[in-house]
């Protein structure tokens, strides 16, 4: 990559992929997006990004869009923003893009995504990114970036963070606040302290954050789940302070009525990321000898919700 403009591929360009890849393209990077459902619309019209950090357009000439990975160039960076529920497609989607020094950054939710990429393409080239962002696709080609946008990146195999610093710098020069995590695993578990209760309960019970927090019993349930996540994290070698529980609840209480990604997926009859957000943490904690009894039941219930395909699109 030295001196040359790196080739960046964004795999599964929904709202998150369009935004972060879009910021890179907007700032002169050579970005190639792999899309599915919105391919035709975006190929013709580009993207319109309505962002709290400044609206911008990505006309077709400013980036490249593809329907098939086989047509894409080999990439220096592959940024994965595919829904984790489609992870079985990762091999076929990414293989055509791989050359010797390709680096892979997964910005997907939950646990298990780096492991998946490491199994397929080797662990040394894998990085993980946590996106703290409220964003959604309004219609084909239109993304609404509502709030936040901060990214934290880390390396799957901790080895000096030179690659994490490189992608972090690309983001920072492209209007994306970004820093480097000392420990990716720590960052992933810390994010799960919020995601497991609010996405898990939100999706399984169809409840927004304010509905979960407006009763004493709801707050106690959220706290009990957060305690289990902290215990699970500790089992996996990640120390999180108990004080994050009060912090997360206080922050969330001021957010108004917020629907988690799992709740929105359920409402729109899309599969929820049950394995990445609930199943994999339960399994990793169990291997470390830590039971997460409430989360395990929640995982089971959310799985049954996810599998009720008999009424698709209800």
Q: Which is nearer to a copy of itself, 171 or 299 (CB)?
A: 299
Residues 221-250 that bind a copy of itself (CB under 8 A): 221
Torsion angle, alpha carbons of 252, 253, 257, 262, to 10: 30
Residue 14 interacting with a copy of itself (CB under 8 A): no
Burial (CB count <10 Å: 0-12, 13-18, 19+), residue 237: exposed
Residue 212 interacting with a copy of itself (CB under 8 A): yes
Selected catalytic residue, list 83, 185, 191, 259: 191
Q: What are phi and psi of 10, to 5 degrees?
A: -115, 120
Residue 217 interacting with a copy of itself (CB under 8 A): yes
Residues 255-274 that bind a copy of itself (CB under 8 A): 257
For a copy of itself, the binding residue among 250, 268, 310, 313 (CB under 8 A) is: 310
Cβ of residue 117: shortest distance to a copy of itself, in angstroms?
27
181: three-class secondary structure by DSSP: coil
Residue 100 interacting with a copy of itself (CB under 8 A): no
Which of 77, 96, 69, 97 has its CA nearest to residue 30?
77
Residue 305 interacting with a copy of itself (CB under 8 A): yes
Residue 207 interacting with a copy of itself (CB under 8 A): yes
135: three-class secondary structure by DSSP: strand
Q: What are phi and psi of 72, to 5 degrees?
A: -85, 155
Rg for the chain, CA atoms, rounded: 19
Binding footprint of a copy of itself, residue count (CB under 8 A): 29
Q: What are phi and psi of 144, to 5 degrees?
A: -110, 110
Residue 282 interacting with a copy of itself (CB under 8 A): no
Q: Which is nearer to a copy of itself, 178 or 222 (CB)?
A: 222
Q: Is position 40 annotated as part of the catalytic site?
A: no
H or E element at residue 134: strand 126-139
Cβ of residue 257: shortest distance to a copy of itself, in angstroms?
7
Give the number of other CB atoms < 10 A from CB of residue 251. 11
The angle subtended at Cα 194 by Cα 191 and Cα 195, nearest 5°, is 80
Tokens 């209480």 correspond to 253
Please choose, out of 8-16, 113-121, 157-165, 207-215, the segment that lies near a copy of itself by the rule CB under 8 A: 207-215
Q: Which is nearer to a copy of itself, 174 or 263 (CB)?
A: 263
Residue 205 interacting with a copy of itself (CB under 8 A): yes
| Distance in angstroms (rounded) separating the CA atoms of residues 314 and 310 | 9
The residues assigned a catalytic role are 191
Question: What are the residues binding a copy of itself (CB under 8 A)?
Answer: 201, 204-208, 210-212, 214-215, 217-218, 221, 257, 293-294, 297-298, 300-301, 303-305, 307-311
């Amino acid at each position: 990559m030295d001196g040359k403009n790196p080739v960046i591929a964004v795999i599964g360009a929904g709202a998150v992929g369009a935004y972060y890849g879009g910021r890179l393209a907007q700032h002169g990077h050579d970005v190639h997006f792999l899309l599915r459902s919105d391919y035709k619309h975006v190929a013709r019209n580009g993207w319109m990004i309505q962002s709290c950090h400044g609206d911008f357009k990505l006309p077709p000439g400013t980036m490249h869009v593809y329907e098939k990975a086989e047509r894409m160039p080999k990439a220096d960076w592959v940024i994965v923003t595919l829904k984790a529920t489609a992870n079985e497609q990762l091999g076929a989607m990414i293989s055509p893009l791989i050359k010797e020094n390709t680096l892979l950054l997964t910005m997907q939710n939950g646990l298990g995504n780096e492991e998946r990429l490491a199994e397929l393409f080797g662990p040394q080239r894998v990085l993980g990114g946590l996106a703290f962002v409220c964003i959604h696709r309004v219609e084909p080609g239109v993304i609404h970036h509502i709030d936040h946008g901060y990214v934290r990146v880390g390396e799957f195999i901790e080895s000096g963070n030179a690659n994490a610093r490189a992608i972090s710098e690309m983001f920072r020069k492209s209007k994306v606040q970004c820093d480097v995590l000392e420990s990716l695993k720590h960052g992933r578990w810390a994010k799960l302290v919020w995601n497991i209760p609010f996405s898990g309960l939100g999706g399984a019970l169809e409840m927004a954050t304010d509905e979960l927090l407006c009763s004493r019993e709801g707050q106690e349930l959220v706290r009990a789940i957060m305690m289990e996540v902290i215990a699970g994290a500790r089992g996996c070698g990640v120390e999180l302070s108990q004080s994050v529980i009060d912090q997360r609840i206080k922050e969330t209480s001021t957010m108004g009525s917020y629907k988690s990604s799992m709740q929105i997926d359920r409402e729109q009859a899309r599969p929820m990321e049950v394995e990445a957000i609930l199943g994999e943490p339960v399994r990793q904690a169990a291997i470390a000898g830590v039971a997460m009894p409430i989360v395990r039941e929640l995982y089971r219930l959310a799985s049954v919700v996810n599998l009720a395909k008999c009424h698709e699109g209800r």
